[in-house]
Amino acid sequence: MRPLLLLTIDVEEDMPGWNITDPISVSNIHSLHAMADVCAELGVRPTYLCTYPMVTHPESRAVLRSLHARGDCEIGTHLHPWNTPPFSGVPGLDTDERSTPYYQFQLGPEKFRAKLESLHAEISDMLGAPPTAFRAGRFGIDAATLRELLPLGYEVDSSVTPLDHHVHGGGPDFRNAPRFPYHPAHHDVGKRGDLDIVEVPVSVAMTRWMPRWLRLAFVYMPQWTRVRGLLSSDYLGIVDFGWLYPARFDVDLMKRLTATLDRSRDTLFNVFLHSNELADGTSGRVTSSSEAQGAECLERTREILRHCIDTYDAEPATLTEGARKLAPNLRS
């Protein structure tokens, strides 16, 4: 089977400096028009995973409906619990939950379910059909909240970041998770199992092939040793680590990552992006102090998508389309 090429974009509210704003603004939504044109040019079928403010604010809702009407994309769910109603408090959180980014697993299954149903209903109303693809805000998923997706008909999740972790902010550790699509275990989203949902991880890799034990030794290496920095292209040029994430990594490094990912028989390229990284001054990576960063991010996205198509004959798909193609082989 040809490698699959996915572009999964977290469509979320403006967060300059990754800070929550009051009132919430959604101005970055207009950057998706240019992104959609790039995708149409390349034949890529993007998946827009949307937060509650983006599907309920009239300005962004209108843009999303127009993108959906094109017929060449998928719209799914991206849940930021701090701005998704109902707001009934978070166990162990002393501050107002609407002012603090936190992980959905902190809610527990019952409170998470209420927020998921709220956002799911809004997207269903906007599309006229229920969404089937999901990604947790801040990648903050666990097995208990993953299982809450099943009764609502979700077919695919893309919240796992293999070889990487979020523990410094109290988040999950996915360093030991599978790097390619799988069915998660009932008790652990980072292990293979038999849940009736496909996990499609974000594409994370090393710039050269390593046996599994050596990959894990690298990613578990304490930062204070500074060995990873020493091995990087900044110094010895032996090995680098990265995501297919155009707002964070340069094109040359991402191309080297695709070569490593292609060493597997399960090759899949899942390119990741935030919508607010396509607009200057509306995220923590693309700042107002440097003009045209959003345009540069768009161009890097174009380049890595084209590279995957031209070099590997990758087949573009939406997140749900990809999961449906992969699911029969994952079972076997």
pLDDT by residue for the chain (332 residues), tens digit each?
799 999 999 999 999 999 999 999 999 999 999 999 999 999 999 999 999 999 999 999 999 999 999 999 999 999 999 999 999 999 999 999 999 999 999 999 999 999 999 999 999 999 999 999 999 999 999 999 999 999 999 999 999 999 999 998 899 999 999 999 999 999 999 999 999 999 999 999 999 999 999 999 999 998 878 877 878 777 777 899 999 999 999 999 999 999 999 987 678 999 999 999 999 999 988 876 555 889 999 999 999 999 999 999 999 999 999 999 999 888 75
pLDDT attached to residue 67: 98
* Contact (CB, 8 A) for 195 and 183: yes
* Domain annotation for the chain: domains and CATH numbers: 4-205+241-331 (3.20.20.510)
Structure tokens at 109: 């299954």
pLDDT attached to residue 290: 56
Residues 6+ apart with CB under 8 A from 89: 97
Structure tokens at 267: 């090759």
Residue 270 β-bridge partners? 6
Residue 78 β-bridge partners? 135
3-state class (DSSP) for residue 15: coil
The Cα-based distances of 270 to 80, 109, 127, 189, 190 in angstroms read: 21, 28, 24, 18, 17
Residues 6+ apart with CB under 8 A from 69: none
Q: What is the DSSP string of 110-173?
A: HHHHHHHHHHHHHHHHHHTS---EEEEGGG---HHHHHTTGGGT--EE----TT-B-GGGT--B
Distance CA(308)–CA(258), nearest Å, equals 8
